[in-house]
Chains A and B, each alone.
Chain A
Amino acid sequence: MTITQIAILAFVAIPLGWLTRKWQRVNLLLIISILIIFWLQPALPLRYLDFFLPTLSIGLTVLTWALTASPEVRHQKESKTSAVITLCVIFFLATTRYLNFDNFLTPTRPPPIGQVLFLLAIFVVGTFLLARQKSSSSNTLLWAGFTVLVILFIILKTPALALIASRGWRLFIGQNASLASSSDIYWLGYSYLAFRLIHTIRDRQSGRLPDVALGEYLTYVIFFPSFSVGPIDRVERFIKGLRQLESAYSDDILVGGQRLVVGLFKKFVIADSLAMIALNPLSATQAQSPLGAWVLLYAYAFQIFFDFSGYTDIAIGLAQFLGISLPENFKQPYRKSNLTLFWNSWHITLTQWFRAYFFNPFVRALRKSRKLSAGMMILVSQLVTMSLIGLWHGVMWSFVLWGLWHGIGLFVQNRWSGWAKTRLAGASLSTRTRRILSLLGIALTFNYVALGWVWFVLPNPSQGWQFILLLFGGA
């Protein structure tokens, strides 16, 4: 998001926060969120796709709601109203093609209305078929929904598949397929949207999903402050804030405003300044000495932190204007004395998601099968989980290496702390010694994480290896 876009969002959120306290809280938030996700979607070189992708985001969300909702909730009147509102807003956006402000609310001119109506009709029929089921969706159907979301995720995140998808769309719409590129399809917010939807599917399967009306569900998934940058809230937590206001409007404006200013400063002053000297594929080739290389690396380590946590502050601030407290995503991660504590405070909502829906079930299965020794089980589960977290960022070897780097680090730290726990249990260390050990731990953890960023930021692993050699004077 640009600073202008954030200023406009704040300009919208402040009066909206006041209005939604008085009237139509869910429906107003829903309408504005729909308009904003169309407006935020960047223009794409693929014709009409920048209109269809936000439409798909909404369509998939509605389908997943119909898939996961209990039969009683599916037939509530308020959900039908929300469905009609959603259709009307998308229809209105499509009609701007024929008005003179077609580039005002959408990135490019919307597609012909017939195409939009056709897509909407598919979603309406799909939702209707799911909603008319007399009982809750079967486990098979829920798994099918899960699979569709994951397949889309893999296509978008795998450059070779994204290239095929781009070619396919170009052929379908009558554009030159030879111009296709793997970066053509930029589906704003899909990584977060998919994880919110999967969370509700898995919770429906375990019987833990609360009853949520369509309007609330849609607002949860496409809530504009957190749509494209997270955090990944949990639905039961989000709707609590949606249904019940916890603080006065003036407090929300004050707290949200402070958070927004902090976020803007972190992102646009600190992170963007650091970006000028931070490690990137180009600057990696220009570094001559180990000292210069370390400067690049440290600058990147702080740039990515201030950039991401700055955006999170902005999201939390904007949400607070609307009376919604989003969960924290960062808690001073670079001041943690070991890697486990680092991962408990870096991109918290993503790691919590992976813990709940992958790591815990995986470890539970391994524990029960008793096929692996305790040490092997820890190694395997850390490597697999961290590789998946890496792959969430993109299906590329560099992200896998970054994940494996952290998986190995977590395994070593786990073994070390297990060993130290038994040996240091009886030792009475002075406060000074504890402080020194803690500082050493912080320095070690930070440097380990910083070295890991080499794999993350340089897409070519051999370039990453060369840079690591340079850092240690070996190149």
Chain B
Amino acid sequence: MTTEIIKPLSTFIAAEILRQPSREIAADEKLISSGLIDSFSLMDLALFVEDTFGVQIDDTELNADTFDTLNALAELIQARL
């Protein structure tokens, strides 16, 4: 199930945030603590998650403690679906 969630997230991050559509993002790659996604892009990601999955990520949750990898984000989304 999480793989189905990871795919659109990964595509969105590569194409819209990193602007490298062919870039592969590993499910355990650090996204926030590594600086790959900055705080503005993080908000784009949160809005994308809300639009795509209908899952709300609170402003206080947009940090590396809540999720730092695609795996962790997918688990968070799945838990709220």
A414 to B37, CA, bound (A): 11
A206 to B61, CA, bound (A): 12
Chain A residues near B46: list those with CB within 8 A.
364
Q: Look across to chain A and name the residue whose beta carbon is closest to the beta carbon of B62.
A: A360
Across the interface, do A206 and B19 meet the contact criterion of CB distance under 8 Å? no
Main secondary structure on A side of the interface with B? helix
Across the interface, do A355 and B62 meet the contact criterion of CB distance under 8 Å? yes
A436 to B29, CA, bound (A): 24
Which of B19, B38, B58, B60 has the largest number of chain A CB atoms within 10 A? B60
Across the interface, do A356 and B59 meet the contact criterion of CB distance under 8 Å? yes
Across the interface, do B59 and A357 meet the contact criterion of CB distance under 8 Å? yes
B63 CB to closest chain A CB, in angstroms? Answer: 6
Q: Look across to chain B and name the residue whose beta carbon is closest to the beta carbon of A381.
A: B40
Across the interface, do B18 and A363 meet the contact criterion of CB distance under 8 Å? no
Q: Look across to chain A and name the residue whose beta carbon is closest to the beta carbon of B63.
A: A352
Segment of A101-109, A110-118, A253-261, A337-345 engaged in the interface with chain B: A337-345
- Assuming the contacts A355-B62, A355-B63, A425-B20, asked whether A364 and B38 have C-beta atoms less than 8 A apart, the reply is no
Query: A203 at the A/B interface (Cβ < 8 Å)?
Result: yes
A228 to B40, CA, bound (A): 32
Q: Look across to chain A and name the residue whose beta carbon is closest to the beta carbon of B21.
A: A425
Which of A202, A368, A418 has the largest number of chain B CB atoms within 10 A? A418
Query: B80 at the A/B interface (Cβ < 8 Å)?
Result: no
Set B20, B44, B47, B59: member contacting A421, Cβ < 8 A: B20
Query: A367 at the A/B interface (Cβ < 8 Å)?
Result: yes
Chain B residues near A80: list those with CB within 8 A.
none
- Assuming the contacts A421-B19, A421-B20, asked whether A208 and B35 have C-beta atoms less than 8 A apart, the reply is no
Query: B23 at the A/B interface (Cβ < 8 Å)?
Result: yes
Across the interface, do B38 and A340 meet the contact criterion of CB distance under 8 Å? yes
Across the interface, do B60 and A206 meet the contact criterion of CB distance under 8 Å? yes
A340 to B32, CA, bound (A): 11
The 7 residue pairs across chains A and B that have the minimum distance between CB atoms: A360-B59, A356-B60, A425-B20, A363-B43, A422-B19, A361-B59, A341-B35
A-B residue pairs in contact (CB < 8 Å), sample of 20: A206-B58, A206-B59, A338-B35, A340-B39, A341-B35, A355-B39, A356-B60, A360-B39, A360-B43, A360-B60, A360-B62, A361-B59, A364-B43, A367-B43, A414-B40, A417-B38, A418-B19, A421-B18, A422-B19, A425-B18
